[in-house]
């Protein structure tokens, strides 16, 4: 039986048009950046998500703290770890951070098929990728720059005097130049390693597979290059050993530090003199640009599905 027209009622439930500011694209990109930066360290997530990144961060700081403590006790400048060598010496810890946290940044939206929801807002695939890449590179930079900064502060605070028959500690100006060079190396490491890890993780939506894939790619690039360099050095083929560093990310960036930033090589063989430094730098730029292009294509395709 139909309801009489006289019994019909229109209810005012209080819907109102939004009259506030339109924050639009820039705000969305900034929000994505902050969200992914927090996610890289498990902030805003359950406690178990925070354990691994903060544990790795603490482990990265330990050698720097130990080096400063030894410097303070022995007064020997040589006991301080070189700024440019820190990331190379601690590369297993950095690789674990890449393997565990890159899937958090690159895989979750793909796994749960929510990328189209992001793209229904005023943000495109390029903005989405740049926000994620920038956030993960910033998280890596914090991981790498914090111990280097601790070394720098420790060197300035201890300031051991010149030991008879030993090398004097560099002055504040020289120490600062070395520190800034080390920070520049950290920036290059962060950009190259972030691109490398995010690309691998973006093609393995399940986190467990992503962790295994990043570690596998790291080992598959590092072990053969180490073998080639050892054989080349044993045969006095120094240029071949140097060029081999192009094919593994840590050696690649260390080649830029040695060739362009005038740091002492931290790998078995630095880049060849002359063209080595510029070539290594161009390859780093190509890796970053190629990673962004691949991520753009990957997320754009996911946003259309």
pLDDT in tens, 18-67: 777 777 788 888 999 999 999 999 998 899 999 999 999 999 999 999 99
Between 96-100, 122-126, 208-212, 242-246, the lowest mean confidence (pLDDT) is in 122-126
pLDDT of residue 256: 96
pLDDT of residue 25: 80
Residue 140 in contact with residue 194, Cβ under 8 Å? yes
- Compute the distance between CA of residue 223 and CA of residue 227 in angstroms, rounded to an integer: 6
pLDDT in tens, 76-93: 888 999 999 999 999 999
Residue 94 above 90 pLDDT? yes
Residue 108 in contact with residue 36, Cβ under 8 Å? no
- Compute the distance between CA of residue 37 and CA of residue 101 in angstroms, rounded to an integer: 11
User: What would the mean pLDDT of 211-239 be, rounded to a whole number?
Assistant: 93
pLDDT in tens, 281-298: 999 999 999 999 999 999
- Give Cβ neighbours of residue 69 (< 8 Å, ≥ 6 apart): none
pLDDT of residue 23: 75
pLDDT of residue 2: 53
pLDDT in tens, 170-186: 778 889 999 999 999 99
- Compute the distance between CA of residue 305 and CA of residue 301 in angstroms, rounded to an integer: 7
Residue 205 in contact with residue 110, Cβ under 8 Å? yes
pLDDT of residue 117: 77
What is the pTM (predicted TM-score) of this model? 0.89
Q: What mean pLDDT is reported for the chain?
A: 89
pLDDT of residue 6: 59
């Amino acid at each position: 039986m139909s309801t009489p027209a006289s019994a019909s009622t229109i209810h005012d439930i209080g819907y109102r048009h939004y009259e506030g500011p339109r924050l639009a694209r820039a705000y969305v990109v900034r929000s994505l950046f902050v969200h992914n930066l927090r996610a890289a360290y498990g902030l805003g997530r359950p406690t178990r998500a925070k354990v691994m990144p903060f544990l790795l961060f603490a482990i990265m700081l330990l050698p720097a703290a130990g080096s400063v403590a030894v410097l303070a006790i022995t007064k020997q400048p040589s006991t301080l770890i070189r700024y440019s060598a820190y990331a190379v010496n601690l590369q297993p810890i950095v690789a674990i951070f890449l393997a565990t946290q890159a899937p958090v940044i690159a895989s979750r939206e793909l796994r749960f098929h929510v990328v189209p929801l992001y793209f229904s807002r005023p943000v495109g695939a390029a903005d989405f990728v740049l926000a994620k890449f920038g956030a993960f590179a910033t998280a890596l930079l914090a991981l790498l720059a914090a111990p280097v900064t601790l070394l720098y502060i420790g060197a300035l605070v201890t300031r051991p005097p010149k030991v008879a028959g030993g090398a004097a500690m560099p002055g504040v100006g020289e120490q600062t130049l070395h520190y800034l060079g080390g920070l520049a190396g950290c920036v290059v490491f962060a950009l190259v390693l972030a691109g490398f890890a995010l690309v691998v993780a973006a093609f393995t939506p399940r986190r467990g597979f992503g962790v295994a894939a990043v570690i596998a790619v790291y080992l598959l690039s590092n072990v053969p290059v180490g073998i080639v360099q050892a054989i080349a050095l044993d045969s006095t083929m120094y240029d071949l050993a140097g060029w081999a560093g192009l094919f593994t990310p840590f050696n690649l960036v260390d080649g830029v530090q040695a060739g362009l930033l005038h740091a002492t090589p931290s790998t078995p063989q630095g880049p060849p003199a002359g063209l080595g430094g510029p070539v290594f730098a161009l390859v780093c730029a190509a890796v970053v640009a190629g990673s962004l292009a691949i991520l753009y294509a990957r997320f754009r395709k996911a946003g259309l599905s």
